[in-house]
Amino acid sequence: MSVLVLGIGNLLMTDDSVGVRVVQHLAATYRFPPEVTVLDGGTLGLDLLPYLEGVELLLVVDAVDTGGPPGTMVRLTGDDIPLALETKVSPHQMGLKDLLTVAFLQGHIPREMVLWGVQPDSIEMSLELSPVVAEKVDVLQDRVLEELLAWGVATERL
């Protein structure tokens, strides 16, 4: 079983960086089994396509426009993921939607996909998360670990 934990976002755009920050923290504090790849996908968009080849389970962490108050978290699965990306938080999300579409067309779509997202408060140019989204980083990390455990993937804290 091949698992990809993918953080998406732009580190220069405040809360848009939340997905990248979560996977960076996970990679620095946990050991994962060989079948799990934890990847800072940044704003690579279609350049991430090779990473989806052979992936059975995909877990994405990203800033997502939920329409709710800043800091609102959401868990989306399967076909709900591309629909959620219709309302873009930032330009990279079109890249993620395109990535999933091309992966599907090439037959590389994972059998299961989960997106954990948080409503941003700001996507202005800044290297810092807003306080309300910064509070969600540990919660998102816990949700990712719980999701992996539900898939039968055990992690070890370093």
The CA angle 78-30-44, to the nearest 5 degrees, is 50
Length of the chain, in residues = 158
157 within a domain of the structure (yes/no): no
Residue 117 is predicted with a pLDDT of 92
pLDDT at 82 over 70: no
37 falls within a domain: yes
Total number of domains in the chain: 1
The burial class, CB within 10 Å (0-12 / 13-18 / 19+), for 54 is: exposed
Residue 103 is part of which domain span? 3-152
Whether residue 155 contacts residue 148, with contact meaning beta carbons closer than 8 Å, is answered with: yes
Confidence of residue 83 (pLDDT cuts 50, 70, 90): low
Q: What is the mean pLDDT of the chain?
A: 89
The DSSP code for 126 is: B
Q: Is the pLDDT of residue 99 over 80?
A: no
pLDDT in tens, 105-124: 888 889 999 999 999 999 99
The CATH number linked to 98 is 3.40.50.1450
In a domain, 102, yes or no: yes
Q: Tens digit of pLDDT for each residue in 21-79?
A: 999 999 999 999 999 999 999 888 788 889 999 999 999 999 988 889 999 999 999 87
Residue 15 located in a structural domain: yes
Residue 85: per-residue pLDDT: 62
Do the domain assignments include residue 158?
A: no
- 127 pLDDT higher than 60: yes
Q: Is residue 104 part of a domain?
A: yes
**Predicted local distance difference test score (pLDDT) of residue 87:** 55
Residue 93 confidence (pLDDT): 53
In a domain, 7, yes or no: yes
The 3-state DSSP class for residue 7 equals strand
More confident residue, 4 or 44: 4
Asked, for residue 60, whether it belongs to a domain, the answer is yes
